[in-house]
Amino acid sequence: MPVPQGEHVHDQNPPISTTIPATSGPERPWWPDAVIYEVYIRSLADSDGDGTGDLQGVIDRLDHIQALGVNAVWITPFFPSPGHDHGYDVSDFRGIDPTFGDTETFRRLVADLHGRGMRLLVDVVPNHTSHEHPWFRAAIAEGRGGTEYRDYYLWSDPGPDGGPPNNWLANFGGSAWTWEPRSEQYYLHAYLPEQPDLNWRNPRVVEEWVDILAHWIDLGADGFRIDVAHNLLKHPDLPDNPVLEVAATEHVPAGRVRSARGLDRVYDVDQDEVVDLFARLRERLPRTHAGEEPFLLGETVLERPDRVERYLQAGRLDAAMWFGTDRVSFEAAEVARVLRTPGADTAGTFGWFLSNHDRARPASRLGSADRALALAAAVLAMPGPYLLYQGEELGMLDLEIDPHTARDPIARRAGELDVSRDRARSPIPWTDEPGRGFSTAEPWLAHGPLPEHGSAATQHGDVRSHLNRWRGLLSTWAGLRHQLPASASVDHDADLLTLTRGTLTVWVNFGGEAVPLKRPAGAEILWRSQPGGDPATLRAGEAVWLREPTRGT
């Protein structure tokens, strides 16, 4: 039964509990086929009328999140930050920015989530700090040769020509090196100059991070989403990266400006030994309030799945995001190519997703919300957690970027409006009113177009809506996911994709014409992406979930 939505009412105090009821046996962790809802905190719901979403806003919308049937919530950074990269430039890793709430609000959120049987992942940013972080300030004050904080960062003298020490490029434009005049050296930053990279070869940095993660576990976190996990180590000799003959400009958007895509990133990301850092961290982390090992999900922005698999070897990350499905077109062959299962020597799984706060909305990118749902129905069935980005359940569309109101540094500094990440960050349309039920004030970023099926409130009451189709899919998944084997096979024939995982078969018709739905004898239709329809026909752009009868019954 969906929970009443629309105008939200606080009817009772949240139940207070510090532990979460076990949802699976001790032998099986909770996450392998979990659905994890990504909250982009600035844009979910604003409780205090300052135009920016906040932690209390998340608490206020837990009925919606719970009614979807998700198992965990990942919340993007809410730490103190000057906001040059909207929270991914952190000036205190243990604090909470007053824009978003305080430790008390965080504790209430944890208690409410746990009371509802959901877990919480904190989004941590270990690759870099803000330039306003006390460590960076101290490193500058100490200067060259400093022994306390200087080595928390990566410094270098100029290259032979007096310029930066090598040709590495920052993801948001320009050189990855910025001159620091007071201490007269360059420092490295993979992103903005306001985001200096930490030196993870310094054991003191590792110690700091053990302590930071333990702090959030102590406050009730069940795990972490680790920002740019592949980026933590750089080649110690700082060699130039090879120049690509053909710059990788066709993949738009890739969270990097075009001018930063001309190098083969051999030496500044995904170093062989980076995966061992996660083993070192894991060994040192305490258990969560529920007595579990904290779940570690890495953001691994890599082109090759075999490179992602390295992060999943035993004792390292539990899940690593595989960036294969966030830019596929609506084509059976292409989708079949990216639906991969990690090799036998891995203990973890890929983390699957169609979108997040850095990527285009799937309903825009793929041409319709129906197509996005059909693709999601195949991706969800793959072994590994599915990361459902807020608004995907409503079929939200990209925000059209206006150069005057753009907020993302990719638009504001590099001027690349068409790859600006603002597109996916507009506030959630809870209602049809002009403020969309998001805030009583002007929102920090403009509202996007209303989804095809309307606001959350409208969709709630419409059984055929995108929202209710997602709810149907996830409740079907909840009933199945614990019974499925850990591997799937994927095949395609012309426009028809077939995914088989134990008794579950998923068919997706990527073509423009209906095709016969050849159901094996006794197979039952569990769910279909378009309402109604003839049981013998798979419509254009439609996905169907079938359950084969179990042999011997």
52 binds, among Mg ion, ligand NOJ, none (CB under 5 to 8 A by kind): Mg ion
Q: Which partner in Mg ion, ligand NOJ, none is near 125 (CB below 5 to 8 A by kind)?
A: ligand NOJ
Tell which positions 163-222 bind ligand NOJ, by CB under 6 A: 191
Among 30, 37, 88, 155, binds ligand NOJ (CB under 6 A): 88
Q: Which of ligand NOJ, Mg ion, none does residue 270 bind (CB under 5 to 8 Å by kind)? A: none
Query: Does residue number 97 form part of the binding site for Mg ion (CB under 5 A)?
Result: no
Compare residues 56 and 475 and give the one whose CB is closer to Mg ion. Answer: 56
According to the binding rule CB under 5 A, does residue 52 interact with Mg ion? yes
**Sequence-distant (≥ 6) Cβ neighbours of residue 44 within 8 angstroms:** 53, 57, 58, 61, 390, 427, 428
CB atoms near residue 362 (< 10 Å) = 31
| Selected range binding Mg ion among 45-53, 147-155, 190-198, 238-246, rule: CB under 5 A | 45-53
Least gap, CB of 384 to ligand NOJ (angstroms): 19
In the structure encoding, which two tokens stand for residue 438, read together? 């998001």
**Which does residue 358 bind out of ligand NOJ, Mg ion, none, counting CB within 5 to 8 angstroms by kind?**
ligand NOJ
- The DSSP 8-state label assigned to residue 414 in this structure reads T
In angstroms, the CA 348 to CA 270 distance is 18
Selected binder of ligand NOJ within 125, 233, 374, 419 (CB under 6 A): 125
Query: Minimum distance between the CB of residue 355 and ligand NOJ, rounded to whole angstroms?
Result: 12
Spatial CB neighbours of 197, under 8 Å, sequence gap ≥ 6: 127, 128, 153, 154, 187, 188, 189, 190, 231, 234
Output 105 or 349, the one with its CB closest to Mg ion.
105
Residue whose token pair is 């929970």: 3
Cβ proximity to ligand NOJ: between 175 and 459 the closer is: 175
Query: Please, what is the minimum distance in Å from the beta carbon of residue 337 to Mg ion?
Result: 42
Q: By CB under 5 A, tell whether 435 contacts Mg ion.
A: no
When computed from its CA atoms, the radius of gyration of the chain, rounded to whole angstroms, is 23
| Residues between 227 and 246 with contacts to ligand NOJ, criterion CB under 6 A | 227-228
Could you tell me which of 88, 301, 295, 126 has the C-alpha nearest to residue 226? Answer: 126
CB of 174 to ligand NOJ, least distance (A): 15
The residues annotated as belonging to the active site are 227, 299
Question: Considering the complex, what minimum distance in angstroms separates the CB of residue 501 from ligand NOJ?
Answer: 29
386 binds ligand NOJ (CB under 6 A): no
Stretch that binds Mg ion, among 39-47, 181-189, 402-410, 541-549 (CB under 5 A): 39-47
Neighbours of 535 (CB within 10 A): 10
* Subset of residues 336 to 375 that bind ligand NOJ, contact rule: CB under 6 A: 357-358
Q: Which amino acid type is present at position 214?
A: A
CA atoms of 43 and 49, how far apart (whole Å) = 13
Instruction: For residue 363, give the 3-state DSSP assignment.
Output: helix
Please identify, using beta-carbon distances, which residue of 122 and 373 lies nearer to ligand NOJ. 122
Sign of the four-CA dihedral 544, 542, 469, 379: positive
- Helices 203-218 and 274-284, interaxial angle, to 10°? 50
Residue 96, sorted as left (phi over 0), alpha (psi -120 to 50) or beta, turns out to be beta
Task: Return the number of the residue (425 or 481) whose C-beta is nearest ligand NOJ.
Answer: 425
DSSP code string of 369-385: HHHHHHHHHHHHTSSS-
Alpha-carbon span 135 to 138, nearest angstrom:
5
Cα end-to-end distance, the chain, whole Å: 30
CB of 216 to Mg ion, least distance (A): 22
CB 260 within 8 A of CB 223: no
Tell me, by CB under 5 A, how many residues bind Mg ion: 5
Tell me which amino acid residue 260 is. A
Residue 476 touches which of Mg ion, ligand NOJ, none (CB < 5 to 8 A by kind)? none
The CB-of-160 to ligand NOJ minimum distance in angstroms stands at 31
Residue 50 as a binder of Mg ion (CB under 5 A): the answer is yes
Q: In sequence order, what are the beta bridge partners of 263?
A: 243
- Is 270 one of the binding residues for ligand NOJ (CB under 6 A)? no
Residue 54 binding result from Mg ion, ligand NOJ, none, given CB thresholds of 5 to 8 Å by partner type: Mg ion
* 48 lines the binding site for Mg ion (CB under 5 A): yes
Nearer to Mg ion, 54 or 60 (CB): 54
The pattern of x and - marking residues 284 through 303 that bind ligand NOJ according to CB under 6 A reads ---------------x----
Cis peptide before 294 (omega within 30 of 0): no
- Which position has the token pair 């129906």? 370
DSSP-assigned beta bridge partners for residue 295: 223
Choice between 46 and 358, CB closer to ligand NOJ: 358
CA distance 242 to 171: 16
Which residues would be at the binding site for ligand NOJ (CB under 6 A)?
85, 88, 125, 191, 227-228, 299, 357-358
List residues near Mg ion by CB under 5 A. 46, 48, 50, 52, 54
